Structure 1
Amino acid sequence: MRLFAISDIHIDYPDNAQWVEQVSDADYRDDILILAGDLTEDRRLLAWCLGRFAAKFRQVLFVPGNHDLWVRHEPADMCSLRKFEHVVDIATEAGVSMYTYRYGNTVIVPLLGWYDYSFGTPDSDLGKLWMDYRACRWPEGFDPARVTEHFLDLNPETVPHPRPGERVVTFSHFLPRIDLIPFFVPRAMRHLDPVLGSTGIERQLRALGSHLHIYGHSHINRRVRLDGVTYINNAFGYPQEGAIAARRLIEIIDET
């Protein structure tokens, strides 16, 4: 049994959806797939995508990203918290898990999250550029910090029923630490730092004893070891991002 991971497939783009369809129906039947968010805002497409992956893999594990909670084309009374509930139902109906999963001596823990500006203070331009501010709707009183707190509160505080010698793998859509953004990212793009993730995710994965964490959101493929934990991003990305995204499944191999 092998473990694969990918994020940010954005199947609203036809070429990206075609790639999902073309993933082998036979090669991964005994394997596990981590989907680290940002598949689509379209509930119909989400059900299709999760269903296709569930048919190709032994088990699919999923957390939604920000795009998955957009409500631009939903009824006016639909907020992003209710959209999350619908996403959970869609995943369940497709046979996809959003909960802790064990295989062999490995336990995989999905971590929900959002961004709470713990990576920096937004500047005046971010409100104009960042689509979430217009594409998400939250209940009254839910600012980004409250949204992040809500999702972090849904995560397990400890690994259920830990076993001797068990290794812990965690995954989230949002970044758990800002130094996962590499040095070569131009300063002009760093205004996005505040909306990339939350240090709360890092606190949780450390408390769980994770030694390997999968994340998405940044669209910058990377594998790096920081303070004893290996962090891996394997974003599929937008069609124009072929230069910074591998655009393929990667097998997660523990090299520590």
Structure 2
Amino acid sequence: MVVWLLPSSSSLPQQPLLSFCPSYKLALRKCNREIRQNCTKRPQVLPLANGETVAGLRLFVLSDLHTDYSENMTWVKSLSTTRHKKDVLLVAGDVAETCKKFIQTMSSLKDRFEHVFYVPGNHDLWCRWEKDDYPDSLEKLNKLLEACRRIGVETNPMVVDGLGIVPLFSWYHKSFDREEDITGIRIPALEMISSWPDIPLRLAKRWPVEGADIAVEESSMVDRLSFLKRCLVGRLSGYDKELPSALVFMASQLTSKACKDFHACKWPKELLKEDASLALYFDVMNNKNEDAINEIQQTCSQIISFSHFVPRQELCPEKRMLFYPNLPKIIGSDFLEVSIRSIHQVAGSSSACHVFGHTHFCWDAVLDGIRYVQAPLAYPRERRRRMNGGEDWLPYCIYSGGQFTERLSPCYWSDYYFENPRTPHMMQLAPWVARFYRQSP
């Protein structure tokens, strides 16, 4: 999942385009510096992944593998083929966009771990590259679950050496976001319905390529964005010499950062009638496991549940901190938190833990008695850019020797909120965000 979206060109500060890229880099540096200044300073806690001898079960967690990126697939294949033979791995969704890559990835992980558990993420259900293979995303989901059964990947609750493991299927809904919206700035709509998808039309008229203007006018919005990106990176003859480098950067961000679920997923019409229809549909899928969950509750003193989507809004930075302030509308489910509280009891306990993914923010925090953890591999560019990115500490060992491990550290955003109260009523954008937006007229 994409965690931030660069605003459209209509909402960028009024400054020369060629100064855009340096400003962007300066903003990110300032973001990193200011967060570090406010974070708790603790030694980094690394997983037990270096071959240490530990008595009892070890359980590792990982999300957002995105192995459509060759660097990420290389990372998966670089995992030891001997070190984890008795270990368990929880994969919290977003493995790959195509079924072929999904099967390759999950097969590689199953070859390395004794038990692998999985829940689907939104990227796993995209159909844009497999339109002819799946009539909709539900059919693709069934194919992925069937592939998991063949490979030996678990998608149902199970007890392993006394530890209860509960996968939870989920989807997001807009009403999950109950914090006040940022006002006074132009924020691109979730469905990407704004003026900037028409940019390719204007570019095609200025730099004509035979047939290009016709193709763009008849194409879908996603195709327009793809066309824009190809134009700006110089893949069409005659474009590369005249367009400024800043526009190349902007196009790359616009096409890669936008929320594409509205176009890449295909759903039956009845699941699109209400805001929470999809979220409720996925939540109901968990009902078939009620008996298994009840048995786990009765027999296990320690339980770990996991999902792809976010169960609580407090597990995401405030809107004023985000490059795309509307991100909370596409990350979580209220139904998910209800299920988690039902599994771990309302008050939670020191032996209750939930793992999630989707936002690509490393996170480790205790809220109302339950520990919430996110350990994403994320995109290669994010690992290079983010302070707590990097593949060296993944997968993260969250359970070892009969007990949950210490808090993952550093986790800059959860560390920040460990020291600072959440203030969603504040509307002033963080400095690293404000420079990308201008006030609405």
Tell me the TM-score normalized by structure 1. Answer: 0.94
Pair 1:18–1:255, CA change in 2 (3 A):
closer
Following TM superposition, by how much is the alpha carbon of 1:119 offset from its aligned partner in structure 2, in angstroms? Answer: 2.3
> Please, which moves more after superposition, 117-126 or 92-101?
117-126
Q: Confirm whether residue 55 of structure 1 aligns to residue 111 of structure 2.
A: yes
Candidates 190, 193, 198, aligned match of 1:126: 190
Per-residue deviation, 1:185: 6.8
Find the partner of 2:389 among 230, 245, 253: 245
Contact 2:172–2:330 (CA under 8 A) maintained in structure 1: yes
In the TM superposition, residue 183 of structure 1 has moved relative to its aligned partner by 4.8
User: Contact 1:234/1:245 (CA < 8 Å) preserved in 2?
Assistant: no
Letter in 1 for 2:397: E
SS in structure 2 at match of 1:130: coil
The answer for the alignment partner of 1:42 in structure 2 is 98
Say if 2:243 is the partner of 1:97.
no
Matched to 1:146, the amino acid is: S
Distance 1:165 1:37, change over 3 A: closer
Partner of 1:149: 280
Point out the structure with the larger helix share.
2
Aligned residue type for 1:127: E
Q: 1:161-194: per-residue Cα shift (whole Å, max 9, x none)?
A: 2434521110000000110013597244221111
Q: Is the 8 A contact 1:235 1:246 kept in 2?
A: no
| Partner in structure 2 of residue 182 of structure 1 | 317
1:81 corresponds in structure 2 to 138
> Aligned residue pairs: how many?
256
Q: 1:65 maps to what in 2? A: 121
Please list the CA deviations of residues 16-57 of structure 1 after superposition, one character each: whole Å capped at 9, or x if unmatched.
000000000000000000000001111111111111111100
Opposite residue 192 of structure 1, the aligned amino acid is: L
Rg larger in structure: 2
2:331 and 2:261 mapped to 1: Cα distance? 12
State the one-letter code of the partner of 1:131.
K
Structure 2 distance, partners of 1:251, 1:133, is 34
The 8 Å contact of residues 319 and 325 in structure 2, kept in 1 or not, is answered as: no
- Is residue 170 of structure 2 the alignment partner of residue 113 of structure 1? yes
Counterpart-to-counterpart distance in 1, 2:158 and 2:315:
26
Instruction: Assess if the C-alpha contact under 8 Å between 2:162 and 2:300 holds in 1.
Output: yes
Shift of 1:103: 1.4
Distance in 1 separating the partners of 2:395 and 2:322: 30
2: CA distance, partners of 1:206 / 1:241: 32
By relative contact order (CA 8 Å, sep 6+), the higher-ranking structure is: 2
SS in 1 for 2:270: coil
TM-score by length of 2: 0.55
Kept after mapping to 1: 8 A contact 2:61/2:397: yes
3-state DSSP of counterpart to 2:65: coil
Cα separation, 1, equivalents of 2:143 and 2:314: 33
Residues 233, 131 of structure 1: alpha-carbon distance in 2 compared, 3 angstrom cutoff: same
- 4+ runs of 1 displaced by more than 6 Å? none
Match of 2:343 among 205, 208, 212: 208
State the identity as a percent.
Answer: 30
- The correspondence for 1:197, drawn from 332, 345, 348, is 332
SS across alignment from 1:127 = coil
* Aligned residue number for residue 222 of structure 1: 363
